[in-house]
Amino acid sequence: MKIVMLGAPGAGKGTQAIKIADKYGIPHISTGDIFRANIKNGTELGKKAKEYMDQGLLVPDELTTNLVVDRIQQEDCKKGYILDGFPRTIPQATCLTEALASLNDALDYAINVDVQDEKIVTRMGGRRACPNCGATYHVKYMAPKIEGICDTCGAELILRADDEPATVQKRLDVYHAQTQPLIDYYNEKGILKTVDGDKDLNEVFSDILAILEA
């Protein structure tokens, strides 16, 4: 079961990816984790990636794909894996398709967690974080016992800059320009499945399981 998760920032695809990974005992793979592991272990690919990152540059698509392909050939990926946050663009997706084809392999599913922009802005704008202990809340879905105060340590909660409505909208604009075309790409490949991400977390998960177990 080889899956790529798609969806806008704040759509909940990362949460669903973790739940799928736990359910099926397959690794949840993000490019950030791969970069950190390779840099920490001093691999050749990690050294190359670090050169770009140290200059504040994006790691080239081919190198990123090589890192991902190296990761998915490891022993724990024999039963499958979930890619979260990669590919982000059509060139990355093309690179990945070609690299997998060279291994006589291919993805099974591209699962798109679909949520309307305005709902994402509202959802993320309701997040609150504790600057002291790092606990997170939501004014509507997971409110603290005392408004604006962390349950764990009593510090005053903040709205992070990343969650400001204007910032969220900018991230969504980038997503639609760069990543949205992947939905068309995987639809043409015949592996795209879309779920309504505006439902309850567990309902979304049930909808995904229905797809995977059909």
- Report the catalytic residues: 13, 88, 127, 160, 171
Closest CA to 97 of 88, 111, 87: 87
Instruction: Give me the helix-helix angle, 44-54 and 61-72, nearest 10°.
Output: 140
Residue 116: CB atoms within 10 A of its CB come to: 12
- Comparing CA positions, the residue from 97, 28, 36, 111 lying closest to residue 69 is 97
Spatial CB neighbours of 134, under 8 Å, sequence gap ≥ 6: none
Task: For residue 169, count other CB atoms closer than 10 A to its CB.
Answer: 15
